[in-house]
A and B are shown apart, each in its own frame.
Chain A
Amino acid sequence: MKKSKYDGSFYLNPYLGGVILGTVLLLSFYISGRGLGASGAVKNTVAATVNVVAPQHVEQSAYYCQFAGGDKEPMSNWLIYEVLGVLAGAFISGIIFNRLKLKVEHSPKITSRRRLIFALGGGVLFGFGTQLARGCTSGAALSGMAVLSFGGYITMIAIFGTAFIAAWVLRKNWI
């Protein structure tokens, strides 16, 4: 089956994609002195929300008070702006390669409902893990690896090593 550029099945050569991603990451360090991330934006949004609902709780929490409360502005944060850019960049790519479509993607062997339940559970665990490890696949692993951070390499190995085993346990969801 020949892949046409316009039926939504065309992807960049993965090595070209990697060079683009690596160049963006390099520019991020060159311009802002930091790597790319995603989970930090969620952390700041949660902290900001809790700060609006229960400001005293934020002051008393040893965790929230690092990001919100006082004169901190958790929503006016580099990562929040960057994440908005990620959505826009993906949207533009979706237009170019004709992939914009509202759908639940899943293996034909499972229902959409099952897929969404596992997606939710995966998100909950991933969110929890990012806070413990101080970053996700982008912020801790990829950006950490770019500056040769020992912790970044450890996190990367822990994520991928575990995911290989867990994916086999859960293979009926995927293949």
Chain B
Amino acid sequence: MIGPIISSGIVSPAWDNIFAVILGMGFGFALESSGFSSSRKIIGTFFGYDFVVVKVFFTAAIVASVGLLYLSYFGLVDYSQLYIQPTFLTSAIVGGIIMGIGFAMGGFCPGTSLAAIGVGRMDGLVFFGGMFIGVFAFSESFSLFENMFYSGSQGPKMINDVFGISPELFTFFLVLAAVGMFFGAAWVQKKVKKVEY
């Protein structure tokens, strides 16, 4: 079965939303069971007392990147059918900076706030509620940001092309960098005073 199995017509599109629920459940389970329902555990990455975010996030990125390259290599997935986030350099950077401040204030990102809501954390619910206000504010003031929103457009550009190397070689370096980070995180965590939470 050549993936993505929905758009290639192997499985009826009617199943897409059912798979969405099942995949979402896996996503939510992975987040919560790794500790992402706790803002104090998440934020530990920035103070060096708990690097769970770095470990889970980069492990997931490696598994998915390497997995997709293998599936593509064996002809099991049509890479050209996958949704590749298009690059709009200016808005990606400015939006990322705004999100970073929100991350440090709220202790969650959107996905982890949902995991927190799932186990009854009120701070997660308030964070998620705040997102509606933020999205609404952006939508209503879109004309002010429209130029920035569309500037620096580079289409679905891939990062290995930026470096002029193959996807496989880039992913190999990504794995090396991530493993280096895991050892670095373990080293820092040993030096930093424990925080009880």
Whether A119 lies near B118 (C-beta < 8 A) is: no
Q: Which residues from B are CB-within-8-Å of A19?
A: 59-60, 63
For the complex, what is the distance from the CA of A102 to the CA of B112, rounded to whole Å?
16
A88 to chain B, nearest CB (A): 5
B191 to chain A, nearest CB (A): 15
For the complex, what is the distance from the CA of A142 to the CA of B69, rounded to whole Å?
16
List which B140-197 residues lie within 8 A (CB) of chain A: 142-143, 145-146, 148-149, 154, 156-162, 167, 170-171, 182, 195, 197
A108 to chain B, nearest CB (A): 9
Whether A123 lies near B129 (C-beta < 8 A) is: yes
Interface of A is mostly: helix
Q: Which residue of B lies closest to A127 (CB)?
A: B134
* B111 located at the interface, meaning its Cβ lies under 8 Å from any Cβ of chain A in the complex: yes
* A152 located at the interface, meaning its Cβ lies under 8 Å from any Cβ of chain B in the complex: yes
* A129 located at the interface, meaning its Cβ lies under 8 Å from any Cβ of chain B in the complex: yes
Q: Which residues from A are CB-within-8-Å of B76?
A: 30
Q: Which residues from A are CB-within-8-Å of B26?
A: 20, 23-24, 27, 85, 89
* A6 located at the interface, meaning its Cβ lies under 8 Å from any Cβ of chain B in the complex: no
Q: What per-residue 1/0 map shows which CB atoms of A14-56 lie under 8 Å from chain B?
A: 1101111111111111111111111100110111001000000
B30 to chain A, nearest CB (A): 4
Whether A85 lies near B126 (C-beta < 8 A) is: no
Known: A12-B34, A30-B71, A175-B47. Contact between A150 and B17, CB under 8 A? no
Partner of A33, one of B7, B30, B132, B134: B7
Whether A94 lies near B133 (C-beta < 8 A) is: no
Whether B131 lies near A90 (C-beta < 8 A) is: no
Q: What per-residue 1/0 map shows which CB atoms of B100-126 lie under 8 Å from chain A?
A: 111111111111111111111111101
B170 to chain A, nearest CB (A): 6
B181 to chain A, nearest CB (A): 11
For the complex, what is the distance from the CA of A106 to the CA of B38, rounded to whole Å?
9
Whether B21 lies near A81 (C-beta < 8 A) is: yes
Whether A146 lies near B61 (C-beta < 8 A) is: yes
Whether B65 lies near A145 (C-beta < 8 A) is: yes
Known: A89-B118, A128-B98. Contact between A42 and B27, CB under 8 A? no
Q: Which residues from B are CB-within-8-Å of A25?
A: 27, 60, 63-64
For the complex, what is the distance from the CA of A137 to the CA of B41, rounded to whole Å?
17
A156 to chain B, nearest CB (A): 8
Q: What per-residue 1/0 map shows which CB atoms of B76-90 lie under 8 Å from chain A?
A: 110101111111110
Known: A18-B56, A33-B3, A123-B127. Contact between A38 and B100, CB under 8 A? no
**Can you give 24 contacting A-B residue pairs, CB < 8 Å?**
A21-B34, A22-B63, A22-B67, A27-B26, A30-B71, A32-B20, A33-B81, A50-B136, A64-B139, A84-B24, A86-B115, A116-B126, A122-B102, A132-B148, A138-B109, A146-B68, A149-B84, A149-B157, A150-B87, A151-B92, A159-B96, A159-B109, A167-B46, A167-B104
- Chain B positions within 8 Å of A, measured between CB atoms, are 3-7, 11, 16-35, 37-41, 43, 46-47, 49, 51-52, 55-65, 67-68, 71, 76-77, 79, 81-89, 91-124, 126-139, 142-143, 145-146, 148-149, 154, 156-162, 167, 170-171, 182, 195, 197
10 cross-chain pairs, A with B, having the tightest CB-CB distances, nearest first: A122-B106, A85-B24, A123-B130, A158-B96, A18-B59, A127-B134, A162-B100, A22-B63, A133-B95, A90-B118
